[in-house]
Amino acid sequence: MRFDERELILKDGRKCVLKPNSPEYAEQMIGYLKETSAETDYLLRYPDEVRCNVEELQRMLGGFLEDPHVIKMIAIADGKFAGLISITGLGPLRRLRHRCSMAIALYKEFWGLGIGTAMIGYGSELAAQAGWTQMDLEVIVGNDQAYRLYKKCGFIETGVRHNAVIYDDGTCRDEILMYKDLV
Ligand SMILES: CC(C)(COP(=O)(O)OP(=O)(O)OC[C@H]1O[C@@H](n2cnc3c(N)ncnc32)[C@H](O)[C@@H]1OP(=O)(O)O)[C@@H](O)C(=O)NCCC(=O)NCCS
């Protein structure tokens, strides 16, 4: 989906722009996926599981831009790629078409500056305009920073998915399920 850029001032006074992701960012995206998944245990992917190449990703990003059921928003803070929020519809089935699903991750150097709050706020506006009435997400138990962000942004906890993730050392963690009404 294409949408207007939005500017914000971060808590440390630097400027940040929220804008649609596009093919020109494909190379930076690969670095971002690898580095952010190494910076936290609370994402689903290990860094060695980022396998797409620049050309594939350029094609995908071009497709997302034209797809009204996909919102890929990046934050450029102080001129640097800071992070991404992804909002996608559950599909065209009439019984599911009211719902979208959200995921977000920022580079660690940009945590705690208000970018997450701004991205969820703008992403929720765009999702409502796109016609979705409910946004769902999952957060791994222990990810207090993300959990607090979601509560602050109006998400409500509805349950727990048992042993949703398993780490390479064999330990498992549950996920908390949350939703937010967009109307
Ligand atoms: C989770 C994440 C997106 C939060 O984004 P952010 O830009 O750091 O969040 P914000 O600065 O907007 O802070 C929002 C709220 O989060 C909470 N928060 C922020 N930093 C926190 C910290 N260190 N510990 C606990 N809560 C914290 C606060 O409630 C804050 O609200 P406040 O500023 O009014 O006090 C970001 O930390 C991140 O990318 N983490 C790694 C990837 C990840 O875990 N993604 C989510 C997977 S479900």
The single-letter DSSP state of residue 43 is S
The single-letter DSSP state of residue 22 is -
pLDDT band at 46 (very low <50, low <70, confident <90, very high): very high
Longest dimension (CA), the chain: 45
Q: What is the pTM of this model?
A: 0.97
Measured from CB, residues less than 6 Å from any atom of ligand 1 are 40, 42-43, 83, 104-106, 111-117, 139, 143-146, 148-149, 152
Could you tell me the distance, in angstroms and rounded to a whole number, from the CA of residue 149 to the centre of ligand 1?
5
Q: Which domains does the chain have, with CATH numbers?
A: 6-132 (3.40.630.30)
Mutate to test the pocket of ligand 1, among 108, 139, 145, 174 (most ligand atoms within 8 A of CB): 145
Tens digit of pLDDT for each residue in 137-182?
Answer: 999 999 999 999 999 999 999 999 999 999 999 999 999 999 999 9
Report whether 109 contacts 77 (CB < 8 A): no
Nearest in space to 163 (alpha carbons), one of 136, 135, 137, 138: 138
Could you tell me the distance, in angstroms and rounded to a whole number, from the CA of residue 117 to the centre of ligand 1?
8
Report whether 118 contacts 8 (CB < 8 A): yes
Nearest protein CA to atom 6 of ligand 1, as residue = 116
Could you tell me the distance, in angstroms and rounded to a whole number, from the CA of residue 165 to the centre of ligand 1?
21
Could you tell me the distance, in angstroms and rounded to a whole number, from the CA of residue 53 to the centre of ligand 1?
30
Nearest protein CA to atom 29 of ligand 1, as residue = 148
Tens digit of pLDDT for each residue in 69-115?
Answer: 999 999 999 999 999 999 999 999 999 999 999 999 999 999 999 99
